[in-house]
């Protein structure tokens, strides 16, 4: 929690959080011990002998220092960190640790993302992760009263064929998955490259979203494809897409189509000046776009949980308490809970 009691207290919706990105150094250390693994960083060419050493490596990935290190360092730490996730129980423990924390922060509904290929390519069976995540979802709902839906993301630096193969492998678990997304490195990987799997998923009843990271090569074209073309006529949501704020026609399109945007402002400080980040969030909100403020990969950036992102939006974007409540109401409108569950949140 933060020192902002209003933000701590109000019911919140987290719609953009990668479960693998909630893997704290503490939990990673614990899982490594349990699985009898030692921990290394390729980038730092280092073996971690203690939890303290591991925590220090995380300190190198803080928002201001990451500018020099680059997004690839984040990806390396993020995909490297996952190696400790081996068993059903590991995936369960990862998810429930985050859900417990979310509940403590006042989150009442969560759409949590997970990668499939990042695990299968390490030799983990899809059933292992899906069963572990499935039991954590049930536990969160029954024991914590936190409603959870999952968004399955494909790695866009892998092939569209591999995405389709994993889409089909995941179909037996369709009941716990509300939507599909695209994440990882988007350099020269436009959303429409994955057009076929998106059209198929739409036909099968999934909601559609796609990452458009900040300040990427082809940023505006990627946002345009997501807003106007993915799934035939455009996706239901854009993850990030902050740069749309620079193009009035894009803002108008996103607004009139009722496409929601999940923004994780603190993570963007890696790429943009702080004034621009919060100025753009503000501009989108003032234009009447449905936006949600979430955390993305909170364990890999200091002070980056949902409450921190909301507190920073208030401080640096000038959001009043009433506007913070409006953000939560807009989040209810754009989220993929059942109409019943939405009614309970309003
Ligand atoms: N996976 C986790 N966080 C991500 C991000 N910000 N962009 C792309 N892929 C990600
Ligand atoms: Zn993300």
Query: How do the domains of the chain map onto residue ranges?
Result: 109-345
CB-ligand 1 contact for 189 (6 Å cutoff): no
CB-ligand 1 contact for 183 (6 Å cutoff): yes
Structure tokens at 106: 């006042």
Q: Report yes or no on whether pTM surpasses 0.90.
A: yes
What's the pLDDT tens digit per position in 33-58?
A: 999 999 988 878 889 999 999 998 88
Provide the β-strand partners of residue 46: 41
What's the pLDDT tens digit per position in 202-238?
A: 999 999 999 999 988 899 999 999 999 999 999 999 9
**Rg of the chain, C-alpha, whole Å:** 19
* Pairing of the two strands 211-212 and 237-240: parallel
What's the pLDDT tens digit per position in 97-121?
A: 999 999 999 999 999 999 999 999 9
pLDDT interval class at 190 (50, 70, 90): very high
Provide the β-strand partners of residue 12: 107
Site to substitute for ligand 1 among 242, 297, 301, 304, most atoms within 8 A of C-beta: 297
Element (H, E) at 250: helix 248-256
Q: Write b or e for each residue in 195-206: b if 16 or more Cβ atoms lie within 10 A of its Cβ, otherwise e.
A: bebbeebbeeeb
* Helix and strand counts by DSSP (H, E) for the chain: 17, 11
Q: How far is ligand 2, taken at its centre, from the CA of residue 145, in Å?
A: 25
CB-ligand 1 contact for 211 (6 Å cutoff): yes
* Pairing of the two strands 46-48 and 39-41: antiparallel
The CA–CA distances, whole Å, from 267 to 142, 297, 305 equal 32, 8, 10
Find, among 4, 62, 55, 66, the residue nearest to 29 by Cα: 55
Please return the burial class of 275, using the count of CB atoms within 10 Å of its CB with bins 0-12, 13-18 and 19+: exposed
Q: In angstroms, rounded to a whole number, what is the distance separating the alpha carbons of residues 305 and 331?
A: 17
Contact 280, 317 (CB under 8 A): no
Token look-up 């990451």 returns 66
CATH of domain 109-345: 3.20.20.140
Q: In angstroms, rounded to a whole number, what is the distance separating the alpha carbons of residues 295 and 73?
A: 19
Structure tokens at 103: 């509940």
* pLDDT for position 68: 47
Structure tokens at 289: 């776009």
Residue 345 has pLDDT above 50, yes or no: yes
Indicate which ligand has the atom closest to the C-alpha of 156.
Answer: 1
Residue 167 has pLDDT above 60, yes or no: yes
């Amino acid at each position: 929690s933060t020192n902002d009691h209003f933000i701590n207290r109000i019911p919140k919706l987290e719609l953009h959080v990668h479960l693998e990105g909630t893997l704290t150094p503490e939990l990673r250390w614990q899982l490594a011990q349990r699985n009898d693994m030692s921990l290394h960083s390729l980038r730092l060419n280092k073996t971690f002998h203690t939890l303290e050493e591991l925590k220090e490596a995380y300190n190198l990935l803080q928002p201001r220092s990451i500018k020099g290190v680059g997004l690839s360092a984040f990806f390396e730490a993020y995909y490297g960190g996952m190696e400790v996730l081996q068993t059903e129980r590991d995936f369960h423990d990862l998810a429930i640790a985050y859900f417990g924390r979310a509940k403590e922060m006042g989150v009442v509904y969560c759409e949590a993302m997970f990668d499939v290929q990042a695990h299968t390519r390490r030799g983990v069976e899809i059933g292992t992760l899906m069963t572990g995540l499935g039991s954590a979802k049930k536990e969160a709902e029954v024991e914590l009263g936190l409603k959870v839906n999952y968004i399955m993301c494909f790695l866009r630096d892998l092939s569209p064929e591999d995405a389709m193969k994993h889409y089909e492998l995941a179909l037996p678990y369709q009941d716990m998955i509300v939507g599909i997304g695209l994440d990882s490195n988007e350099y020269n990987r436009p959303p429409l490259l994955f057009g076929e799997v998106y059209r198929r998923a739409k036909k099968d009843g999934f909601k559609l979203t796609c990452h458009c990271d900040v300040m990427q090569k082809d940023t505006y074209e990627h946002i345009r494809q997501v807003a106007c073309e993915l799934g035939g006529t455009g996706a239901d949501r854009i993850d990030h897409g902050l740069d749309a704020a620079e193009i009035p026609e894009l803002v108008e399109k996103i607004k009139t189509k009722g496409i929601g945007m999940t923004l994780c402002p603190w993570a963007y400080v890696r790429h943009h000046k702080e004034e621009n980040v919060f100025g753009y969030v503000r501009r989108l909100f003032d234009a009447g776009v449905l936006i949600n403020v979430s955390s993305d990969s909170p364990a890999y950036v200091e002070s980056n949980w949902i409450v921190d992102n909301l507190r920073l939006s208030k401080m640096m974007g000038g959001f009043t308490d009433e506007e913070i409540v409006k953000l939560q109401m807009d989040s209810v409108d754009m989220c993929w809970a059942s109409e019943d569950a939405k009614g309970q949140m309003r």
